[in-house]
Amino acid sequence: MTQGEQRREQPSAGGDWQRNVLRELGGAGGSSPSETGAGDGRGPASARPGEPTLRLVHPAPARPPATAPEAATAPEAGADDVPGPQVPGPVPSSAPRAPDGPASPAHMSGSPAAAGPEPERPATPAAPARDPRLPASPAPESSPTLDPRLLLALGRPLHGDSVTRRTGRALRKLTSSVNQDVAEQTRIARELQQPVTTGRVVAVTSIRGGVGKSTVSALLGRTLNHYRHDPVLTLEADTALGTLPVRMGAEAVRWTCADLAPILHPSMQLTDVTGYLVPVSDGGWLLPAGRGQVGPPLDMTSYRKVTLALRRYFAVTVADCETLPGEVARTAMDTAHARVVVAPTTAEGVGATRQVLDWLARLPHSALATTVVALVSNTPDTLLDGKTAAGHLKEAGVTVVAVPYDRHLAGGGPIRTDLLSHATQQAVLRLAAEVMGRAVRVR
């Protein structure tokens, strides 16, 4: 008997478990080291009589490392083959491996030590491309609109009308006919609920700050949202530490207009967009221009991109712009469907507003036909006669709506529509109806 026959008659203990593994993997096309002579480091050996000789024709498909152990394969064995690298048994996916080397024998379920290098692994797939709709930078931190100590200092908000005035108005309603009031309210509601084919943009600006521009924007946004059944957005385009988030009742802000400009994508749904906005307590949505900190001003490109993209999701967008003659304010006034110029009831305020109206008349496409002036009284002791001021502005060819002094609005802080005076409510309704009627007529 030759030496090779003696070795085949007395297989090692390792050959038994390798044959068992071979029988289990026989249907998958695997090969055993004992069939190729590589299991114990010896030369090639022939298969036993009655046992099939398994040869690897094609490598088995790679399996995910987290779901199944990797199965290494050996080259095809033949009579003239030289001993190849040892093929170990199944290796758990959690077994540690040294760089460019086989797995440790301690993790191989009783397999003998490896006699050759580890078979090549499939290349790691490249990471998928980043979704362009997702922000490239981490999400900004949420910031409160007002310091909590200032909120406590605000105290209890006042009603716009005194108790005496509210009592007198209630008595007059008992003795007067309500038919005329109902007809007027119906007409205003019909104007506010006009359907739109595309999103309408209403730009609100003034000649200087502190005259009530953000207050008028907040009142318009809330009024339109109350009467309309489609979504309404109030957008702040004034980064000079504007007060619109406070007036709208937002407790904290996170995403700003500049943050949202590079994120907006045509494939986004309304639910995706509203995730970046601030929901208003009584309905509607708010997009602030800042987080209550001094920062870079909003540029014209970002404003145009945001307003153009959001028109797909919101029927009406009220834009609280910066004061004239700022670049964003001039762009907003030129591209909006309707415009509101807020003027204080003072001699210098009315005179400066008249100059703005004359500038609007000189634009290539005159914007006076779609402009409404809100003549706001910020003090109960106004020296300028309201009728004279309104007549001076009407000479430019615009409609003027007087917004009277209101104790609730003068107190600052969040606006509560239920605390507005009756005269203020009627003035805001008329202003919103005039603006909406002009915005719908623009094609």
Q: Which two tokens stand for residue 381?
A: 């002791």
- Tell me the CA distances in angstroms from 229 to 194, 225, 226, 338, one per residue in order: 10, 7, 8, 20
- Sheet of 338-344, strand order: 278-279, 285-287, 232-237, 316-321, 200-206, 338-344, 371-376, 399-403
- Tell me the CA distances in angstroms from 84 to 4, 28, 36, 80, 261, one per residue in order: 18, 21, 8, 12, 61
Name the residue with tokens 């005039």.
434
First vs last Cα of the chain: how many Å apart? 104
Q: Which two tokens stand for residue 161?
A: 């009308």
Domains of the chain with bracketed CATH: 12-115 (no CATH), 143-154+188-441 (3.40.50.300)
Q: What is the DSSP string of 191-240?
A: HHT---SS-EEEEEEESSSSSSHHHHHHHHHHHHHHH-SS-EEEEEE-TT
The reply to whether the predicted model has a pTM over 0.75 is: no
User: SS3 for 97?
Assistant: strand
Name the residue with tokens 């040869």.
55
User: SS3 for 285?
Assistant: strand
Cα 337 to the chain's mean position, in Å? 25
Nearest by Cα to 73 from 107, 19, 121: 121
Confidence (pLDDT) at 160: 84
Which backbone phi and psi does 153 adopt, to 5 degrees? -75, -15
- Residues written for the chain: 443
DSSP state of 70: B
Which backbone phi and psi does 233 adopt, to 5 degrees? -120, 135
Angle at which helices 386-394 and 347-361 cross, to 10°: 10
pLDDT tens series, the chain, 443 aa: 545 444 444 444 445 666 665 666 555 444 444 444 444 444 444 444 544 444 444 444 455 555 444 444 444 444 444 444 444 444 444 444 444 444 444 444 444 444 455 555 545 444 445 555 555 556 777 788 887 778 777 778 889 888 888 888 788 777 776 677 788 888 899 999 999 988 999 999 999 888 999 999 999 999 999 999 999 999 998 877 778 999 999 988 989 998 999 999 989 999 999 999 999 988 899 999 888 777 677 888 999 999 999 999 999 999 999 898 888 888 888 889 999 999 999 999 999 999 989 988 887 777 899 999 999 999 888 889 999 999 999 999 999 999 999 999 998 889 999 999 999 999 999 999 999 999 998 87
Adjacent-strand bridge partners of 235? 287, 319
Confidence (pLDDT) at 268: 93
CB 220 within 8 A of CB 271: no
